[in-house]
Structure 1
Amino acid sequence: MGVTGAGKSTLAQTLSSRLGLPYHEMDALYFNGPDWAINNKVTEDVSRLTAEPRWIIDSLGYPEVRDLLWDRADTVVWLDYPKRVIMPRVLRRSIRRTVTREVLFGGNRETWTDWLSREHPAWWAWSQHGARRREVERRVRDPRFTPLDTLRFGHPNDTSAWLASL
């Protein structure tokens, strides 16, 4: 869990490899066509994947599946990094993706024009940082979800130290 650019996918891939758990990329499940078309079967797909006993998904954030994921997860790893950590990461990633025309979920690409949109990852990370943090904090404290083991890391060094201990 974390805001755009925190390193959720990278961490999830690393955990998947180290722990031998199947990894599913939420953006790839959510976006399935040109112009960032949303998969109309995302809830069904996520429900099927999370019915398995062991899995890792790199985000619990999309509204259509948020409650489902929170209900079925047993552990949340929260990358609660400050903007000064997040923003350089998301900017570097988006510049790389735009320059190289990297193909993303559903065959989409980040373009220079996209940078003008409030939906662009850089704008989204900046504007949604506080709101996302408050929402995760609220959910972590919600009695319905208190059985969840929540690991909250405030800096990449903390996450790296934890990973080294696995």
Structure 2
Amino acid sequence: MTPYDARRILVAGTSGSGKTTLAARIAAVTGIPHTEIDGLFHHAGWTPNPRFVEEVRGLAARDEWVTELQYAAARPVLSARAQVLIWLDLPRLVVLRRVVTRTVVRRLRGIELWNGNREAPLRTFFTDPDHIVRWAMRTHGRQKQQVREALAANTDLRLVRLRSRRDTARLLSLLTLHATVRAAPEGETST
């Protein structure tokens, strides 16, 4: 199985690494539906979805999906069914810059995330130990272990490790090319 033929795709990475953005772009290029895992987990008021694991099982049972590798309860369920795991293994400084920028922009623009939820006020960075920026820095080193666990849960799972924006652009370019070739009528190629 290659990333170009896969129909069940997981995207892993630290908060702020761009995994949801990449998952959405993969979905747009391939036509595979994207389900944002945070949207399944968080109900209004940041309350956890009591049916989260059940909904993740339903998602994993589908023939086609792209989603993010997050949440301890979801990771083994999704890993067992995924065909490809794309890991955004970016340097800590790159992730820090991205998560800070994203957080500030979302807060200043009042962007709704999921189910009416919005970023916390920026001042909570100093008072909330789980503020998204602090969370990203604290959990950055855990990604390698989570990727290992996913690969151990599914020995057929193929890993694509992206270490830069350039790697990501190359993958998206190849996915686009492959999707174009697949969509062309037999005997024809697009130019």
**Count of residue pairs the alignment pairs up:** 162
Match of 1:74 in 2: 83
Q: Structure 2: which 5+ runs fail to align?
A: 1-11, 176-191
Please identify which structure carries the higher helix content.
1
> How big is the shift at 1:106?
2.7
Q: Structure 1: which 5+ runs fail to align?
A: none
Match of 2:47 in 1: 37
> How big is the shift at 1:140?
5.1
> How big is the shift at 1:114?
3.0
One-letter amino acid of the counterpart of residue 23, structure 1: H
Alignment pair present for 1:156 and 2:158: no
Match of 2:99 in 1: 90
One-letter amino acid of the counterpart of residue 78, structure 2: L
One-letter amino acid of the counterpart of residue 65, structure 2: W
Provide the TM-score with structure 2 as the length reference.
0.80
One-letter amino acid of the counterpart of residue 23, structure 2: A
Query: 1:165, 1:72 → 2: CA distance?
Result: 23
Alignment pair present for 1:62 and 2:68: no
Deviations 1:86-140 (A, max 9, x none): 111100000011112222223122212432312111111111101223332x225
Deviations 1:9-49 (A, max 9, x none): 11111110111101000110110121x11001111111112
> How big is the shift at 1:141?
4.9
On the 8 A contact 1:60/1:69 being kept in 2, the answer is yes
Match of 2:31 in 1: 20
Query: 2:161, 2:150 → 1: CA distance?
Result: 10
One-letter amino acid of the counterpart of residue 22, structure 1: P
On the 8 A contact 2:76/2:150 being kept in 1, the answer is no
On the 8 A contact 2:88/2:161 being kept in 1, the answer is yes
One-letter amino acid of the counterpart of residue 13, structure 1: A
Among 110, 120, 131, the alignment partner of 2:131 is 120
One-letter amino acid of the counterpart of residue 43, structure 1: V
Match of 1:107 in 2: 116
One-letter amino acid of the counterpart of residue 123, structure 1: R
Provide the TM-score with structure 1 as the length reference.
0.91
Larger radius of gyration: 2
Match of 1:47 in 2: 57
Query: 1:39, 1:56 → 2: CA distance?
Result: 20
One-letter amino acid of the counterpart of residue 147, structure 1: D
